[in-house]
Amino acid sequence: MNASLKPSTAAMLALAPLLWAGNAIVGRLAHDLISPFALNFFRWGIAFVLLLPLAWQVLRRSSPIWPLWRQYALLGLLGIGCYNALLYLALKTSTPLNVTLVSSSMPVWMLAIGRLFWGIAVSRRQLCGAALSILGVAVVMSRGDLQTLLGLHFVAGDLFMMLATIAWAFYTWLLSRSTGPQEVKAHWASFLLAQVTFGLAWSALFTGGEALLGDFRFVPGWPLLGALLFIAVGPAILAYRFWGMGVQRATPAIAGFFGNLIPLFTALLSIPVLGETPHLYHAIAFALIVAGIVVSSRK
């Protein structure tokens, strides 16, 4: 294994997709209660409030983030303002099956963007790992039936998911190559709050456009509150914390392969939540995805 991919790093990069799988399920369950951009805005609004007691100093006028505000504004736009909003928008018009299949292209986009914009070499092992990982996603999403895969029809929501995937690939590379103040980057809550501050502003802008178009929807109640609290604490704060640390310790190219654990975890979480039954293809898919990670991260 690559020396940078220690068990603790692999665990962090695996925990983030597990929490994001829960985000996809809860986001789908809540789509009748709240519109996509509003869901993203309130999610990060709650996260902002929770992070504030831990890192409020980063928002002071003398904070070292302000000279680099463009960098944090870009991170906030891609990772917070765009990715999740596009994901929720995709789930409104597309199926979880299609959305997950489109997002399985993440390793390819990670490798391509790293090569095109930062000159990072792509090895044959990484290409082989990408193929194994995508094959694993195809197995779990098709339920082991090739006809299911061939019978897929792509809609507008799939395009939104493709844009979300590209945005996340750029975000991950920028995250690893950011030149922010070390005192901010060293404190995870400060680094995340700096991104959330700008991301929340972008989300508010998108939500305002949603309202002007007459698509805003908000049905208050305990189900919506519970959904918002979960996705704010788990998929937002904790997952971004784990992903950020994992990317810093490994590389964006390797981290991208862990993103393909999301469809597998989504299928596994559907067993207790939706009452589905585990099958052999779940094990096969898991083996293929993990094989892709191992192959891509070996020297």
pLDDT at 276: 60
Residue of higher predicted confidence among 187 and 69: 69
pLDDT at 155: 72
Please give the backbone phi and psi of residue 123, each rounded to the nearest 5 degrees, phi first: -90, 165
How many other β-carbons are positioned within 10 Å of the β-carbon of residue 161? 23
Question: CA quadruple 147, 151, 154, 158: dihedral positive or negative?
Answer: negative
3-state secondary structure of 218: strand
Confidence bin at 143 (pLDDT 50/70/90) = low
Least confident of 32-36, 108-112, 263-267: 263-267
Whose tokens are 């299949």? That residue is 101
Query: Among 42, 137, 139, 143, which residue's Cα sits nearest to residue 99?
Result: 137
Give the Cα separation of 285 and 281 in Å (integer): 6
pLDDT at 2: 47
CA dihedral 108, 113, 115, 121 (to 10 degrees): -50
- Domain parsing of the chain, residue ranges: 7-297
Give the Cα separation of 169 and 270 in Å (integer): 26
pLDDT at 166: 92
Give the Cα separation of 136 and 104 in Å (integer): 9
3-state secondary structure of 34: strand
Residue of higher predicted confidence among 85 and 2: 85
CB 239 within 8 Å of CB 259: no
Mean pLDDT of the chain: 84
**What is the amino acid identity at position 104?**
S
The model's pLDDT over 235-284, given as tens digits with 9 standing for 90+, comes to 999 999 999 888 888 888 888 888 878 877 877 777 776 566 667 776 77
Contacts of 39 (CB under 8 A, 6+ apart): 27, 30, 31, 88, 228, 231
Query: Among 185, 172, 192, which residue's Cα sits nearest to residue 64?
Result: 185
- Residue 5: CA atoms inside 13 Å, Cβ hemisphere, count? 19
CB 60 within 8 Å of CB 183: no
Q: State pTM to two decimals.
A: 0.83
